[in-house]
């Protein structure tokens, strides 16, 4: 039986306006006020006619060179950018990990940052209170919770961020190069988390440059080149295309 896709991208087009010269000072504005409404520039099309259906339980890898439109596609799925034309329909709760530790503040302690970042990711405060111990244990940073984040090493920061992010309970996770962080031992734990997601039939969309992670996790992959979805098929096919360039 064919299930309805959980993410449905139809005819998606996205273009950005690139002004030839930024008009953001008052003198320029006053010298020709109408230019604010019609500045000189050009439309730059980042995504062209993308069609993509993702079903529940699928782990889909998105590959492509820098500037091929991968991150833009994720941002549209996450509702941060709006499509120029076409549509993206998402059914179910989605948590985007476009970056780890969104809203982290170096002046706040680890504990305060857990609540700040967790709430930004859409977790209720009561829920975070219950999960607090679990987050701290996963991050292995028990001793540093009352220390300002600026005194953490960058590896510790991403470990904390990752530990918060995985608490988010969602049907769909969108990852932009945040698959595994920290040292080897911690990376192993990260991979276990994703294996667990797979068993729970969660859906995962992953942008990555690592053929190994795509091979390890994804059932399916797509290849983007210059904003065009060139291949939608097996992992092997896409990795081969990515390696050729």
Partner 1 sequence: MSNYLELLKEFIKTDFQLRYKNSYLGLIWIVLKPLALFGVIYTVFSNIMAMDDDYMMSLLLGIMFITFFSEGVMMGLGSLMAKSGIILKIKFPREIVVFSSVTIGFIDFLINMIVFAVFTLFTPVVITLPSLLLFLVAIFSFYFLIMGMSLFLSVMFIKLRDLHNLMQVVLQLFFWATPIYYKLEMLPEKMQGIILLNPLTKILIAVRHGLITGGDVGLKDFISLAPITLVCILILFLGILFFRNKVTKIAEYF
Given the rule CB under 8 A, which residues bind partner 1? 16-17, 24-26, 29, 36, 75, 78-82, 96, 98-99, 102-103, 105, 107-108, 112, 115-116, 119-125
Taking residue 76's Cβ as centre, other Cβ atoms within 10 Å add up to 23
Sequence-distant (≥ 6) Cβ neighbours of residue 205 within 8 angstroms: 7, 54, 60, 62, 74, 77, 172, 173, 174, 175
- The helix/strand/coil state of 2 is coil
**CB 89, min distance to partner 1, A:** 15
- Closer Cβ to partner 1, 67 or 233, answer by number: 67
- Closer Cβ to partner 1, 127 or 191, answer by number: 127
**CB 229, min distance to partner 1, A:** 22
**CB 165, min distance to partner 1, A:** 11
- Closer Cβ to partner 1, 125 or 130, answer by number: 125
Q: C-alpha distances in angstroms, 111 versus 80, 105, 130?
A: 28, 11, 13
* Integer-rounded Cα radius of gyration of the chain: 20
- Closer Cβ to partner 1, 98 or 193, answer by number: 98
Q: Are 229 and 51 in contact (CB under 8 A)?
A: yes
Q: C-alpha distances in angstroms, 43 versus 5, 20, 36, 88, 216?
A: 31, 10, 16, 21, 38
- Closer Cβ to partner 1, 23 or 220, answer by number: 23
**CB 238, min distance to partner 1, A:** 26
**CB 90, min distance to partner 1, A:** 11
């Amino acid at each position: 039986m064919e299930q309805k896709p959980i993410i449905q991208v139809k005819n998606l087009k996205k273009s950005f306006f690139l002004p030839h010269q930024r008009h953001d000072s008052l003198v320029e504005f006053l010298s020709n006020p109408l230019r604010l409404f019609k500045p000189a520039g050009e439309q730059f099309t980042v995504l062209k006619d993308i069609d993509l259906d993702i079903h529940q339980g699928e782990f889909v890898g998105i590959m492509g060179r820098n500037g091929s439109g991968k991150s833009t596609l994720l941002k549209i799925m996450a509702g941060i950018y709006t499509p120029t034309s076409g549509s993206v329909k998402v059914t179910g709760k989605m948590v985007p990990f476009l970056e780890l530790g969104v809203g982290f503040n170096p002046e706040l302690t680890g504990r305060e940052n857990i609540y700040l970042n967790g709430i930004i990711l859409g977790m209720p405060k009561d829920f975070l209170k219950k999960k607090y111990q679990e987050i701290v244990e996963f991050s292995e940073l028990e001793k540093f919770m009352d220390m300002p984040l600026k005194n953490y090493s960058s590896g510790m920061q991403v470990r904390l961020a990752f530990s918060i992010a995985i608490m988010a309970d969602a049907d769909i996770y969108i990852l932009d190069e945040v698959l595994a962080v920290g040292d080897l031992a911690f990376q192993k734990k990260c991979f276990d988390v994703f294996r667990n997601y797979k068993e729970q039939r969660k859906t995962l969309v992953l942008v990555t440059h690592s053929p190994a992670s795509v091979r390890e996790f994804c059932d399916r992959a797509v290849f983007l080149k210059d904003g065009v979805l060139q291949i939608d098929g097996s992992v092997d096919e896409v990795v081969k295309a990515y390696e050729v360039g």
